[in-house]
């Protein structure tokens, strides 16, 4: 029990443990009264309610008090009294227990979202903050890896879904937790991953979902400083803090950076009908962008509200939060969800030079961090290629769309593809950023998986309870002739080939490659392209098909090794800036076909010193094409290191072991990619050598448009027009 609150300090904000007690500091400028509510660890009812005395416990816009005798582990919340006047943007409700915006740990043991949405006292069914002493941990010398300027393979990982499935071979008590993820970090190292981008692990509201479902993705933030309590294997709420730290330490030991997907564009409090959990009951008119009708929220996020990120107080909250995750939790970087919303002013207007974006980029505590922006929002802002200056990398949504369109055989796709291959200079050259600032991705949590891109032409989201209205309609996918699962052997061959085509374009293009969890094992969501509320096997990574997809896994690993080995892919400027380095071709040398009806492209890449020379052939046409090959000196020859039209292990070779091409041209089967490497000519021609092009073997593996089986659906891309 606390006998009496003593005068406290207004900084730092939140609950700060010191010798003898805990200091509480809270921003609530228009509040008439603040009460500190303390809970016993084993009781949902308040154990003690301590009012702040405005004369002794208020400094300007901050309420602050020192509670002697309290320690880490204490559960607490606030009741804040003030005017209920939505027309003025004020929504004080003293019956609601409020979370500390700076809470470092949250307990959801008794939380009921519906009670926070309705009138009345919800203290026994509210989220409760837990006091944490971040000093009480031994980092054993760990530090962030600090690789912000180096190339990476970024792997988007969902902590819950990574090991939740029984096939993960993780002990049941650890499945879906930070400790469970530690058990499978070696998998990521063997795959070649250098950084994991964790889908939201800041405390989110799992109940922010349609009835009967659960918010799985986590894009519903509740407390920005707290790790999500559902990812702890321990029973004490504080366990989640140190378990996250254990994960970071273990990742760093494997040489893997940890990047957080942070959601500072909105909160889980939603629109005017949403729950009062924290920000709304403290300073609604400060934390959120409001419309001219102050009772309504501006929604540039599609989630009911938009955080007022460039208000000085909210800006400080975000910066304090980022610094905390770097300083106390040792993370290596951040991916900012719907980052364009963070460039809006207090009336929702786009700011040409948003203060928050500049502050993050120039903050000395964040100097070594990766900063990655999702450079758009749901209000129509699209800033890819011009977000935030040289410190900021960007998710390259145009890479995703243009590569997909080329691979499925869309018209008007060759010229855009060429830009994506060379690091998107049409997007980034004007800002002077390197090609590594573009984060190239084929798939992410939002949309189809890699497997589903070649298995479904339409979204199948009925399980989400929104009558298939949710999720994107423009997926640029193709089912290869049949919608969903099929036993048709030629369709299976074509789908695998399309998957390898997509992988090849990702890893053979300039930019930082990004990979979705489970794509290496052909994870499917059964055509659901918006599985945000599917905390079940639809979203979890099923490890059991590992042997079945060993060939694809090997293809990915070998191609990533090739990329890391070659200096061509270490260039920081587009290949087009050095004329001797890149030459475009078509089926005829030096004659690329940039027409709208074109479906093929070839290009040569050569280092100025001649030590590395590649020739890449791309055929997205529905028939085989014959490509001319560049002539080489008599003692040199082309060696086939990649061929997506062939089965494993012939689909990829290390350069020193690749078979030699004996002809001056090569027939490339329908919808396939081939990469040739200049090496030493092997003489004479072995008598046992087989010319695969002439033998017709490749043609036999080159199915054209495949008619659907009886009762199955065909895609409009099954026979695209030339």
- Show the tokens assigned to 430: 């004007």
Angle at 322 between CA 239 and CA 157, to 5 degrees: 60
> 146-160, 179-193, 581-595, 600-614: lowest mean pLDDT where?
146-160
712 within some domain: no
- State pLDDT tens for residues 54-76: 999 999 999 999 999 999 999 99
Strands 75-81 and 128-130: antiparallel
When pLDDT is cut at 50, 70 and 90, the band that residue 3 belongs to is confident
| Alpha-helix runs per DSSP H in 409-535 | 414-421, 425-428, 450-453, 489-507
* Interval 427-433 mean pLDDT: 84
The domain boundary, picked from 62, 97, 130, lies at 130
121 within some domain: yes
For residue 711, the model assigns a pLDDT of 40
Q: Is 60 exposed, middle or buried (0-12, 13-18, 19+ CB in 10 A)?
A: exposed
Rounded Cα gap, residues 382 and 650, in angstroms: 42
Strands 6-7 and 62-68: antiparallel
> 172-181, 451-460, 499-508, 681-690: lowest mean pLDDT where?
681-690
582 within some domain: yes
The domain boundary, picked from 74, 102, 130, lies at 130
Residue 653 maps to which CATH number? 2.60.40.1180
Under the phi-then-psi rule, with left for phi > 0, alpha for psi from -120 to 50, and beta for the rest, what region is 564?
alpha
For residue 430, the model assigns a pLDDT of 81
Rounded Cα gap, residues 389 and 393, in angstroms: 9
479 within some domain: no
When pLDDT is cut at 50, 70 and 90, the band that residue 408 belongs to is very high
* Interval 276-294 mean pLDDT: 97
Q: Which neighbouring-strand residues pair with 616?
A: 603, 675
Would the pLDDT of 351 be above 60? Answer: yes
C-beta separation of 447 from 519 below 8 A: no
C-beta separation of 248 from 331 below 8 A: yes
- State pLDDT tens for residues 197-216: 999 999 999 999 999 999 99
Would the pLDDT of 673 be above 60? Answer: yes
Rounded Cα gap, residues 615 and 606, in angstroms: 9
508 within some domain: no
When pLDDT is cut at 50, 70 and 90, the band that residue 83 belongs to is very high
C-beta separation of 703 from 623 below 8 A: no
More confident residue, 104 or 431: 104
Q: What is the mean pLDDT of the chain?
A: 93
588 within some domain: yes
- State pLDDT tens for residues 10-26: 999 999 999 899 999 99
- Spatial neighbors of 323 by CB under 8 A, at least 6 apart, are 363, 365, 366
Place of tokens 């280092």: 607
Would the pLDDT of 700 be above 50? Answer: no
45 within some domain: yes
Rounded Cα gap, residues 266 and 303, in angstroms: 7
- State pLDDT tens for residues 308-338: 999 999 999 999 999 999 999 999 999 999 9
- Give the number of other Cβ atoms within 10 Å of residue 68's Cβ: 12
- Show the tokens assigned to 215: 């918010």
For residue 163, the model assigns a pLDDT of 98
For 617, the domain range is 578-700
Give the phi and the psi of residue 400 in degrees, each rounded to 5.
-55, -50
113 within some domain: yes
Catalytic residue positions?
A: 337, 374
Rounded Cα gap, residues 650 and 640, in angstroms: 9
- Side-chain-side CA neighbours of residue 97 (13 Å): 26
Task: Give a three-class secondary structure readout of 402-420.
Answer: HHHHHHHCCCCCHHHHHHH
Nearest to 479 by CA among 443, 448, 520: 448
More confident residue, 150 or 638: 638
Rounded Cα gap, residues 156 and 191, in angstroms: 13
Under the phi-then-psi rule, with left for phi > 0, alpha for psi from -120 to 50, and beta for the rest, what region is 180?
alpha
Residue 75 maps to which CATH number? 2.60.40.10
Specify the number of domains making up the chain: 2
The domain boundary, picked from 75, 95, 130, lies at 130
- Kindly calculate the radius of gyration of the chain based on its CA atoms and give it in whole angstroms: 28
- Show the tokens assigned to 91: 């929504």
When pLDDT is cut at 50, 70 and 90, the band that residue 684 belongs to is low
């Amino acid at each position: 029990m606390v006998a009496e609150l003593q005068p406290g300090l207004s900084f730092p904000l939140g609950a700060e443990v010191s010798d003898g007690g805990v200091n509480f500091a809270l921003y609530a400028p228009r509040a008439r009264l603040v009460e500190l509510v303390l809970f016993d660890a084993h009781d949902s009812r308040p154990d003690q309610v301590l009012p702040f005395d405005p004369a002794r416990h208020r400094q300007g816009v901050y309420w602050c008090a020192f509670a002697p005798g309290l320690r880490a582990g204490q559960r607490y919340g606030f009741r804040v009294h003030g005017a209920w006047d939505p027309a003025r943007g004020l929504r004080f409700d003293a019956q609601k227990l409020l979370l500390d915006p700076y809470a470092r740990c949250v307990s959801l043991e008794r939380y009921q979202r519906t009670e926070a949405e309705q009138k009345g006292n919800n203290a026994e069914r509210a989220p409760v903050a837990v006091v944490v002493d971040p000093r009480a941990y031994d980092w054993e010398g760990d530090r962030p890896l600090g690789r912000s300027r180096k190339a990476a393979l970024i792997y988007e990982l969902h902590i819950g879904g990574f090991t939740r499935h029984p096939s993960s071979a993780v002990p049941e008590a650890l499945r879906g937790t930070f400790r469970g993820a530690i058990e499978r970090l070696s998998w990521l190292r063997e795959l070649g991953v250098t950084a994991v981008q964790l889908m939201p692990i800041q405390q989110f509201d799992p109940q922010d979902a349609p009835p009967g479902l659960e918010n799985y993705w986590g894009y519903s933030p509740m407390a920005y400083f707290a790790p999500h309590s559902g990812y702890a294997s321990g029973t004490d709420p504080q366990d989640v803090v140190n378990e996250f730290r254990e994960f970071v330490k273990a990742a760093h030991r494997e040489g893997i950076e940890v990047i957080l997907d942070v959601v500072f564009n909105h909160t889980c409090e939603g629109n005017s009908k949403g729950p009062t959990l924290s920000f709304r009951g403290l300073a609604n008119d400060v934390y959120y962008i409001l419309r001219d009708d102050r009772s309504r929220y501006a929604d540039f996020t599609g989630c009911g509200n938009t955080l007022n990120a460039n208000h000085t107080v909210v800006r400080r909250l975000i910066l304090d939060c980022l610094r905390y995750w770097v300083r106390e939790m040792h993370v290596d970087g951040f991916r900012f969800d719907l980052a364009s919303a963070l460039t809006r002013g207090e009336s929702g207007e786009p700011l040409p030079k948003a203060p928050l974006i500049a502050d993050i980029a120039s903050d000395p505590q964040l100097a070594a961090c990766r900063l990655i922006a999702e450079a758009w929002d749901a209000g129509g802002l699209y800033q890819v290629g011009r977000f935030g200056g040289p410190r900021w990398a960007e998710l390259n949504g145009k890479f995703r769309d243009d590569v997909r369109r080329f691979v499925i055989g869309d018209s008007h796709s060759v010229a855009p593809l060429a830009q994506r291959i060379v690091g998107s200079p049409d997007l980034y050259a004007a800002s002077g950023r390197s090609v590594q600032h573009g984060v190239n991705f084929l798939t992410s949590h939002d949309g189809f998986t890699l497997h589903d891109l070649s298995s479904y032409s339409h979204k199948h989201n009925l399980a989400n309870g929104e009558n298939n209205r949710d999720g994107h309609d423009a997926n640029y996918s193709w089912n290869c002739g049949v919608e969903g699962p099929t036993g048709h052997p030629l369709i299976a061959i074509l789908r695998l080939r399309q998957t390898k085509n997509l992988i090849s374009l990702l890893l053979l293009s300039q930019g930082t490659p990004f990979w979705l969890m489970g794509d290496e094992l052909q994870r499917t969501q059964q055509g659901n392209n918006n599985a945000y509320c599917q905390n079940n096997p639809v979203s979890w990574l099923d490890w059991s098909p590992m042997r079945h997809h060993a060939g694809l896994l090997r293809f990915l690993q070998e191609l990533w090794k090739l990329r890391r080995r070659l200096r061509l892919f270490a260039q920081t400027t587009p290949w087009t800036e050095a004329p001797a380095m890149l030459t475009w071709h078509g089926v005829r040398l030096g004659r690329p076909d940039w027409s709208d009806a074109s479906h093929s492209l070839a290009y040569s890449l050569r280092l100025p010193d001649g030590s590395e020379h590649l020739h890449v052939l791309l055929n997205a046409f529905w028939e085989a094409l014959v490509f001319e090959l560049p002539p080489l000196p008599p003692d040199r020859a082309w060696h086939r290191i990649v061929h997506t039209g062939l089965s494993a292990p012939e689909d990829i070779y290390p350069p020193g072991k690749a078979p030699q091409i004996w002809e001056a041209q090569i027939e490339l089967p329908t919808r396939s990619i081939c990469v040739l490497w200049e090496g030493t000519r092997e003489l004479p021609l072995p008598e046992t050598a087989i010319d695969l092009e002439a033998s017709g073997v490749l043609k036999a593996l080159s199915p054209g448009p495949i008619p659907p089986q009886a009762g199955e659906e065909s895609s409009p891309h099954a026979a695209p027009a030339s």
